[in-house]
Amino acid sequence: MAAEIISGKELAAQKRLEMKQEVEKLVQTGKKPGLAVILVGNDPASRSYVKAKEKACQEIGIYSVLQEMPETTTEAELLAEIDKLNNDDNIHGILVQLPLPQHITEQAVIEKISPDKDVDGFHPSNIGKMMIGEETFLPCTPFGIVEMIKSKGIEIAGKHVVVVGRSNIVGKPVGQLLLNENATVTYCHSRTKNMKDITKQADILVVAVGRANFIDGSYIKEGAAVIDVGVNRLEETGKLVGDVVFEDAKEVASYITPVPGGVGPMTITMLMHNTIESLKRTKA
């Protein structure tokens, strides 16, 4: 029997509708959440992401500001711009679109954003709180993944989760969030030996390596839930595919996320959620 699809697109639409209603109530009390996005340079993929974020803000009723800065912007100029937004009471979330030009230190930029406005969940103090299970802004993609798993009533506590990938943006934090939900978590990465033996033990398999069709059905335990985070464009066809061979995997798994329409829509949705939460946490 083919796996049940976990549609991030459908779940995101449902959550955004709920958020829109929540924002309408906040506006009636004189409060409106605000998100500022800084885009340095003119990377086409970054511009596309930024456009999707602006569209989501419009849809939900969030005040949105886009600060475009040229490729030649210095690190000092960017940090000064973040400082202004840190002190702007109309802005509750600040996001600097990555990647940045090579002459700017990514970590310095992440750490400059006030932890109270770090709706991406990347600031070391928010990462630290996530590690110890304190309430904080959670990184958007991992947060979205957990919401998708829960939306299908898939039990996490006591299950064996295998995460393929160890990036700071997805791999490491998603493993931690699932550990916080009482799963037993194993990480696989480029140095892992006998990876297939490990992934075949997973009740929930999360794949986030950025390599097209890296995991086929032979890596998957019968009945596992498979979360495919990868978005890769095939050069020969221009088609978007995940890190998992979808047609193969869906015959083995019990649940699977598609690409596109899986994890992607949930990332921006959880960014919106964090921005609304930030407003709610501010002192009146």
Tell me which residues are annotated as active site.
53, 97, 120
Q: List own/partner pairs for 194-201 with CB under 8 A and 24 or more apart.
A: 195/164, 195/219, 198/162, 199/162, 199/164, 201/160, 201/162
Euclidean distance between CA atoms 68 and 87, whole angstroms = 19
* SS3 annotation, 12-29: HHHHHHHHHHHHHHHHHC
Which residues are within 8 A (CB) of 253 and not within 5 positions of it... i.e. 6 or more apart?
3, 205, 220, 223, 224, 225, 226
> In 10 A of CB 282, how many CB atoms?
12
Euclidean distance between CA atoms 57 and 20, whole angstroms = 9
